[in-house]
Amino acid sequence: MALLDAYTAPKKKIPRRAYLTVSTLVALFTLSFWCVLSYGELVRPDFLPTPMKVVWAGIAGARDGSLALNTAVSVGEIMSGFVLASLLAVPLGILMGSFAIVEAAIEPIANFMRYLPVSALIPLLILWVGIGIEEKVSVIFIGTFFQQLILVADVSRAVPHDWLDVSYTLGANRRTVVRRVLIPATMPGVMDSLRVTLGWAWTYLVVAELVAGNKGLGYFILNSMRGLFTDQIFLGIMVIGLLGLITDQLFKTLRNWLLPWAQNP
């Protein structure tokens, strides 16, 4: 009971071992729940594949090389769109959150754009951009850029005013304050925003590969929907989920490595 009490205190660390145990148990519970539903045939087999069927679909895909190819194509599209969006959104967002004049210029249009359903823009993207990889990258870009902009602007806005005042008091000029105080102070928050929006970029994958897709995980899932190949749909989802898990972990590591002064608690 005392243990439970110690583990349920808000904002208190728990031992690493307990942390990992809980994570593993929940993952195992989910897996066994899936096993019970599928092997127990509580859900019709063509509606819910068994874990082994998904593994077999994975092996088949690995054997003919299609899984690796689809994954590589999708990672390429996602990263191109995401990096492009980040390169523009981070500096713009920082400026937007700290300079009222930039905010006035960009915020209304960004707030307008970020509510638009990207799937509705596809016919326009075909007309203006084309049907090659540039169309897919554009979908990812539009889907992430405006969200990043708002998130980064909020991070930049949250940098305490006092820090800038102290710097001025210590004799720093405007330029130095921006370069040495404002930008470093936003970095941990920026990294977190990027981590979150990379996840969003993945959610646009199926939409991105609607047009002229013949490779990629989104195409693979769409194609498996015709004929309702649930094992392949699951495989596609699993691979995307795993990639998400990996990139998330990479981001956390990168953050601790680049910004050691702002370790995650």
Q: Judged by CB under 8 A, does residue 225 bind another protein?
A: yes
Which of 82, 202, 204, 219 touches another protein (CB under 8 A)?
219
* Region from 49-57, 64-72, 104-112, 224-232 binding another protein, contact rule CB under 8 A: 224-232
Number of residues forming the site for another protein (CB under 8 A): 23
Residues 25-44 that bind another protein (CB under 8 A): 37, 42-43
Which of 8, 169, 173, 214 touches another protein (CB under 8 A)?
214
Which of 61, 93, 189, 213 touches another protein (CB under 8 A)?
213
Nearer of residues 146 and 219 to another protein, judged by Cβ: 219
Q: Judged by CB under 8 A, does residue 13 bind another protein?
A: no
Which of 31, 72, 87, 228 touches another protein (CB under 8 A)?
228
CB neighbours of 22 closer than 8 A, spacing ≥ 6?
A: none
Only one residue has tokens 């490595």, namely 257
CB neighbours of 164 closer than 8 A, spacing ≥ 6?
A: 177, 181, 182
CB neighbours of 139 closer than 8 A, spacing ≥ 6?
A: 81, 118, 121, 122, 125, 204, 207, 208
The Cα 113–Cα 132 span in angstroms is 23
Q: Judged by CB under 8 A, does residue 130 bind another protein?
A: yes
Answer yes or no: are the C-beta atoms of 199 and 211 closer than 8 Å.
no
The Cα 81–Cα 200 span in angstroms is 12
Instruction: Output the CA angle 57-60-66, nearest 5 degrees.
Output: 105
The Cα 67–Cα 76 span in angstroms is 14
Residues 165-184 that bind another protein (CB under 8 A): none
Q: Judged by CB under 8 A, does residue 7 bind another protein?
A: no
Diameter of the chain measured on Cα atoms: 73
Q: Judged by CB under 8 A, does residue 223 bind another protein?
A: yes
Q: Judged by CB under 8 A, does residue 126 bind another protein?
A: yes
Residues of the shown chain interacting with another protein in the complex, contacts defined by CB under 8 A: 37, 42-43, 46-47, 122-123, 126-127, 130-131, 210-214, 219, 222-223, 225-228
